[in-house]
Amino acid sequence: MKKIFVVLAILFIGILLAGCTSQPAAPVATPVPTAVPTTVVTIPPTTVPTKEIVVIVVNKTATPTPTPTPVPTPVPTYTITFTQDLTIIPSATANVKVGTKVIWLNADPFKPHSIMSDNVQTQKYFGGINTVEIPYGKTYEVIFDQVGAYDYTTGPFQPAMQGKIVVTA
């Protein structure tokens, strides 16, 4: 135990002497700022356009009224069918209302059928001055939008038949 006491005493004395013998630190020299010539640049003010802010106030308590989705009006149709026994079903004359879609259907698996206008006034409905050829399984569709009687002829791959579309209001 004496040895520990002696070692501690020596350490204590050593610490005291170390603190007493140190020299005070020399003052640190502060650098003196040197004058640097400066140039002052004056920038003219720019004109900034005035910005308009729009504030939208939303009333959270009000529920918007839903806009109903318009339901398209169904287009009435009338089908005229070419058969393989060279007939037209229901008949070559059709009585329809304005806005009706008339559909010519070729149900003849052996040959194409065709229709053509009989006069200049009805050409817009029957392919102009040309014959409209309808291959097997295909259709030709026309919406008749004006009151009147529209004459047409079938052919040339079958015996020519006269047809008429009578459109009423």
pLDDT above 70 covers a percentage of the chain that reads 71
Residue 21: inside a domain: no
Question: Would you say the pTM of this structure is higher than 0.75?
Answer: no
The count of structural domains within the chain is: 1
Q: Which domain holds residue 147?
A: 77-168
Q: In a 10 Å sphere around its CB, with 0-12 CB exposed, 13-18 middle and 19+ buried, how is residue 153 labelled?
A: middle
pLDDT tens sequence across 114-149: 888 888 777 777 777 778 888 999 999 999 999 999
Domain of 89, CATH number, reads 2.60.40.420
Residue 72: inside a domain: no
Residue 131: inside a domain: yes
Query: Of the spans 6-20, 25-39, 109-123, which averages the highest pLDDT?
Result: 109-123
Residue 130: inside a domain: yes
**Residues for the chain: how many in total?**
169
